[in-house]
Amino acid sequence: MAAVDHIIIGSGINALVAGAMLGLKGDRVLLLERESVAGGCLRTEEVTLPGFSHDVMAATFVLFMTSPAGAVLGPHLVRHGLEYCHTPHPTAVLRPDGSALVLTTDRAKNISGFNALAAGDGDRHGTDVGAIQADAPFLFALLGGSLWSWPTAKLLFGQVRKRGLRGLAAWMGSALAPARGWLEGYQSPLVQALWAPWVLHCGLTPESTYSGQMAKVVAFALEAAGAPVIKGGAGAAVRAFRGLIEEKGGEIRCGADVDKITVKDGRVTGVRLADGEEIACRSVLASVAPGQLYGRLLDVNLPEDRAAVQGYRHGRGDFQLHYALDAVPEWTTDGLQDVALIHLADGIDSVSKSANEAERGMLPATPTICVGQPHRLDPSRCPEGKAILWLQIPDAPRVIKGDAGGEIAGNDWDTVKEAFADRLEAILLRHIRNFDQIKLARRAYSPADLERMNINLVGGDPYGGACSIDQFFIWRPFAHSTNGTGPVRGLIHIGASTHPGPGLGGGSGFNAAKRLGA
């Protein structure tokens, strides 16, 4: 039987971070990926036309660049070809009436611009992001650190000494406020509309508990670090990780479907692959959805976990749409040419409406659309003079019950996918004057397509499960969860379904590797 120190099931960002960290420690790691290509949601492919490289799923790396994992691994990954591409205009909102607001990475300019829209809005913005900056050491340790630990206990004790017990409770209470309450404090509908869609990228809605705090964190991060992409695409990041892991004696094996995690006397002994091969190890890090871990991989009597997984909820699905263009798009509104991510949304109510329709199983009548222009940051993505667009719709229903617009018939994504893509394209046509002339090809991915590409995207949910407060922080994935560990010794559950949740920060992989001595 082959043997390694650690087996990591999956090859998404958390698996890659854990593998690289443990490899740097000197341990031998083996990443097992059931698909034919490594990376999980990090995939770059020519899905429209030859020469046009599209990030099929994840695209923006601000969370990794600014994370503890990025700080440790960044210099090593640079040696293996990782390079960030930036723009000073990370995001913007474009409303149906053609009005737009562009964020810059210059806080003073943002404050001035917001104040010009409505007196006091810029000052409020400065106060809000300034408060996140002031709280950053505490807040980001709480959002990303190992919660059930002495360092976190000491952190909280330090905050009690600083704020008082009642003061800390008040801070936490205010952090649970929904985004709607925060955003309605701004007078300008444009400022409200700029931030409202970002809660969807946290798996939340404007009415969700703690969505206000998460929106402020996003505002701070985008203003401070922008919305960088990887030169060559997200797949280039996977190649850099592979280079580092292999340099340290590790391996990433694709087409390797783990059938069972083997356990003896309550301790992990290794894994058995679907082809019958057995591999021994000291620990297994499983970057999978809870249903995969407790419903397929573990053949152990774990009544509490098995009961909890039955009640685990997944969130809205994700819809992706990619375009190859013959020329740079001419936006009908000036100032959007170099923006990394543009939301097409009217405001808080439109975002709330589309998300609510999706949560009720309806195709949104007017979806909230995020448009990425990676060619403006990284011209290597397409031939000279051409362009690509990356569209993400973070409020697609996992199971279709109907169409809120009353136009699309069918309740199966394979049947309605192109009609829904037509709805999105019609919105684009209203904002890009030359779109009909420059469109070369498009490729749509429904929630069902995404699940077929990655078994952990249940119903196309890219966030590893609903991110409501009862399934987040110390309660992720279950109310009794403790840092991804349980009664099976040597097994650590990582990935988007575990704390600190979804995104490209690699937090759960980083925390697991630190737990193992990295």
- One-letter amino acid for residue 231 of the chain: K
- Domain of 308 in residue numbering reads as 2-40+62-84+232-312+467-515
118 in the same domain as 71: no
158 in the same domain as 36: no
pTM over 0.85: yes
**Would residue 394 count as lying in a domain?**
yes
**Would residue 372 count as lying in a domain?**
yes
391 in the same domain as 296: no
**Would residue 460 count as lying in a domain?**
no
At residue 2 the predicted structure's pLDDT band, cuts being 50, 70 and 90, is confident
**What is the spatial distance between Cα 469 and Cα 319, in angstroms, rounded to a whole number?**
24
Please name the helix (run of DSSP H) or strand (run of DSSP E) that holds residue 116, with its range, or none. Answer: helix 107-117
**Would residue 126 count as lying in a domain?**
yes
**What is the spatial distance between Cα 57 and Cα 153, in angstroms, rounded to a whole number?**
36
**What is the spatial distance between Cα 509 and Cα 70, in angstroms, rounded to a whole number?**
12
Structurally, the chain folds into a number of domains equal to 3
Residue 98 has what pLDDT?
97
Kindly report the CATH number assigned to the domain that includes residue 79: 3.50.50.60
Q: Over the chain, what is the mean pLDDT? A: 97
Mark 258-288 as b/e (b = at least 16 C-beta within 10 Å): bbbbbbeeeebbbbbbeeeeebebbbbbbbb
Going across the sheet that includes 251-254, the strands are 251-254, 29-33, 6-9, 283-287, 491-494
DSSP letter, residue 18: H
332 in the same domain as 448: yes
Return the SS3 of 343.
strand
Contacts of 112 (CB under 8 A, 6+ apart): 122
248 in the same domain as 213: no
Q: In the listed set 204, 225, 246, which residue is the last one of a domain according to the structure?
A: 225
pLDDT value at 270 more than 80 = yes
Q: Mean of the pLDDT values across residues 135-146?
A: 91
Phi, psi of 29 (to 5 degrees): -120, 150
305 in the same domain as 270: yes
Q: In the listed set 176, 191, 225, which residue is the last one of a domain according to the structure?
A: 225
- One-letter amino acid for residue 81 of the chain: G
192 in the same domain as 72: no
256 in the same domain as 199: no
Please name the helix (run of DSSP H) or strand (run of DSSP E) that holds residue 510, with its range, or none. Answer: helix 507-515
Q: Mean of the pLDDT values across residues 469-474?
A: 96
Beta strands in 26-74 (DSSP E): 29-33, 44-45, 54-55
Phi, psi of 484 (to 5 degrees): 75, 5
Residue 203 has what pLDDT?
96
Residue 1 has what pLDDT?
59
CB 443 within 8 A of CB 321: yes
| Whole-number Cα distances in Å, 5 to 1, 23, 130, 367, 399 | 13, 10, 44, 47, 41
473 in the same domain as 350: no
pLDDT value at 233 more than 80 = yes
- One-letter amino acid for residue 74 of the chain: G
For 167-197, write each residue's pLDDT tens digit: 999 999 999 999 999 999 999 999 999 999 9
